[in-house]
Amino acid sequence: AQTVTQSQPEMSVQEAETVTLSCTYDTSESDYYLFWYKQPPSRQMILVIRQEAYKQQNATENRFSVNFQKAAKSFSLKISDSQLGDAAMYFCAYRANTGRRALTFGSGTRLQVQP
């Protein structure tokens, strides 16, 4: 069974600084995707960034980028120039491209942004 582990329950960053959230996963599949979701106080699940496992190049979306280390099964999220609006719970998630397509989530990291 696939598992996703986020070992940092809480993180804090100063506004305009950079922070990295960690995620590791375990799978025997070769065709899969990895995601970072943001959940603000509104509880809406918002997709931040995704990475296809077959792509070596790390995904980037504006201030958000990932460090995907396939052999180590590591998938960290870097947030640059942190803004107050980045404060939220962040979930790392895995999804195989076959079978029941379930997203397997980590337990989340709560990010605080200090002004």
**Calpha distance 81→94 (Å, rounded):** 26
CB 105 within 8 A of CB 91: yes
Q: Could you give the string, one character per residue 26-55, with x where binding to another protein holds by CB under 8 A and - elsewhere?
A: -------x--------xxxx-x--x-x---
Residue 16 binds to another protein (criterion: CB under 8 A): no
Task: Pull the structure tokens for residue 33.
Answer: 């995707």
Residues 6+ apart with CB under 8 A from 62: none
Residue of 25, 82, 106, 111 that binds another protein (CB under 8 A) = 106
Q: Please give the size of the binding site for another protein, defined by CB under 8 A.
A: 21
Task: Pull the structure tokens for residue 21.
Answer: 């959230």
Residue 100 binds to another protein (criterion: CB under 8 A): yes
**Calpha distance 11→7 (Å, rounded):** 11
Q: What is the nearest approach in angstroms of another protein to the Cβ of residue 115?
A: 27
Residue 64 binds to another protein (criterion: CB under 8 A): no
Nearer to another protein, 83 or 98 (CB): 98
DSSP lists the bridge partners of residue 112 as: 12
Q: Which residues bind another protein (CB under 8 A)?
A: 4, 33, 42-45, 47, 50, 52, 91, 93, 95, 97, 100-103, 105-108
